[in-house]
Chains A and B, each alone.
Chain A
């Protein structure tokens, strides 16, 4: 039987150790195979805590998290790691190796990939992220943007089925952002889940949006619907320029990109 949801959160509650404050206050959702989901919400709303439950880094105090049907409290860390690739917001929390080469090959070695395959994949991914020239250098000598790319490369390289990224575009330039977007669109695994503040990026590359606010999931739906139904304003999020312009001009069709906006405007002119 093919399970429909690849990730399931049931009434997940979480408190960080030694703290009374509940960061997650009963979060429930399902993510299906093929979903590309963006978690949005202000800083401190609980987005990162949700993501950290997806690879078992955090376990719920009550409720449960199922990854491909397996409760994260019962799953082996190595199995979860193989299935769920996690790219952290701050690459300094993720990177640890002596060289960039070692960094991107580490996971594959742990998962006992053949040596030949390891070299081939590492070379490919370092080249495609513009990091090949730094392969023998320490990750910690890279710029902030490059470190971030290395963090992403070292996860993508072993092709996890589920890709989880915390703020993948922060501090990235236009070209890198586009590359990350295309990578998400073309991802062949089961699901991509990111947290981000970049709503223009969400508008372009994601079909499903969840708003997290004060430890709760307060909205869940298509970007087209969420961006136009007043949710952004309600939860203190900044509206993308395309949305402000479309609303202001009374353009129909809820466009999410400039191309769509111009198309809708043209049709509006004709009628």
Chain B
């Protein structure tokens, strides 16, 4: 069974004639790391809401097609039933952090799901340890740094031990250091088997460890596949941010420099080029 299957999904928000999703087909294998990119308003966030069931449960509109997440159908089940299979992290940490301490924040999703008190305590302890949040347990989420807030949000999203993690532009309000810190947590989770679907503008930090890059525009998926192939097809199209390492690769290739693979960041670039330019110096 796949982690996520989306078939011919179309959706328009209530009162809007525009299709926010227009015939979307997407398969995500278990353990895959999938990056969704595309211009603002392309449908990235809507797609994430359609996977975790906020669409159609909370956002009304016209819904066609089918979504399966770990065998569940979000159109027929309530989000709280899906919370055991999928966790979601949103763009602004302050819109999803609700309580006055980190540990309450982690317990909050469980309080609404009928988990026993003993089990709740265990799960919260476990999450505090796993995400290195124990020193922050009594702090108020509102006084944490952006990077810490997003780590709390990830821990809260995963408190019920789902196997799929969705993230909607989780680093866009963070500084680059904090973004790296949050993304490395996500990368680590993926390496231990978690299926990850993440929407982002800043591709340069993500492509080195993504398995699949999906590009959306105007509600449609316009390209998907291995990042090193898709990103080359995206050069000069202004739909997604092409990392400078990739642009430099294209420039140097034209000068006759040989590469064995397309570098996804500066370090991969140097690994590729250094041996062949040794002659140059």
The A-contacting residues of B in range 158-212, CB under 8 angstroms, are 169, 172-178, 180, 201, 204
8 Å CB contact of A174 from B41, B146, B175, B240: B240
Question: Which of A4-12, A29-37, A138-146 is near enough to bind chain B?
Answer: A138-146
Say how far A137's CB is from chain B's closest CB, in angstroms: 11
Q: Digit string of A114-137 for contact with B (CB within 8 Å is 1, else 0)? A: 000000000000000000000000
Q: Which of B176, B245, B265 contacts A237 (CB 8 A)?
A: B176
When distances are taken between beta carbons in the complex, the residues of chain A under 8 Å from B201 are 171-174
Asked whether B266 is an interface residue with its Cβ less than 8 Å from the other chain, the reply is yes
B39 at the interface (CB under 8 A from A): yes
Chain A: minimal CB distance from B242 (Å): 8
A171 touches B243 (CB 8 A): no
Whether B39 contacts A173 by the Cβ 8 Å rule is: yes
- Tell me, yes or no, whether A75 is within 8 Å of chain B by CB: no
> Which residues 215-271 of A have a CB within 8 angstroms of B?
236-242, 244-245, 248-250, 258-259, 261-262, 265-266, 268-269
Question: Of A175, A197, A258, A266, which contacts B176 at CB under 8 A?
Answer: A197
Q: Which of A42, A199, A250, A262 makes the CB contact (< 8 A) with B252?
A: A262
How long is the Cα–Cα vector from A61 to B265 in the complex, in angstroms? 45
- Interface residue? B1 (CB, 8 A): no
Q: Does the CB pair B252–A175 fall under 8 Å? A: no
Residue from B40, B172, B176, B273 in contact with A238 in the complex, judged by beta carbons closer than 8 Å:
B176
Residue of A nearest to B269 (CB): A245
Given contacts A146-B41, A173-B39, A262-B251, contact A245 B245 (CB under 8 A): yes
- Tell me whether B261 is interfacial, beta carbon within 8 Å: no
Q: How many residue pairs bridge A and B at CB < 8 Å?
A: 103
Given A173-B201, A178-B238, A261-B248: A241 touches B145 (CB 8 Å cut-off): no
- Using A44-B145, A261-B248 as known contacts, say yes or no to A143 and B270 having CB atoms under 8 A apart: no
| Residues of B229-250 whose CB lies within 8 A of A | 238-241, 243-245, 247-248
CB-based contact B252/A241 at 8 Å:
no
CB <8 Å contact, A242 and B173? no
Q: B177 near A236 (CB under 8 angstroms)? A: yes
B281 within 8 A of A: yes
What residues of chain A lie closer than 8 Å to B245, measured between beta carbons?
A: 241, 245
Q: How far is the CB of A212 from chain B (nearest CB, A)?
A: 12
How far, in Å, is A219 (CB) from chain B's closest CB?
17
When distances are taken between beta carbons in the complex, the residues of chain B under 8 Å from A145 are 40-41
Chain A: CB-nearest residue to B42: A173
- Report the bound CA distance from A148 to B211 in whole Å: 32
A170-B173, A245-B266, A248-B266 known; A240 vs B238 contact (CB < 8 Å): no
Nearest 6 CB-CB pairings of A with B: A262-B251, A145-B40, A244-B266, A241-B244, A248-B270, A238-B176
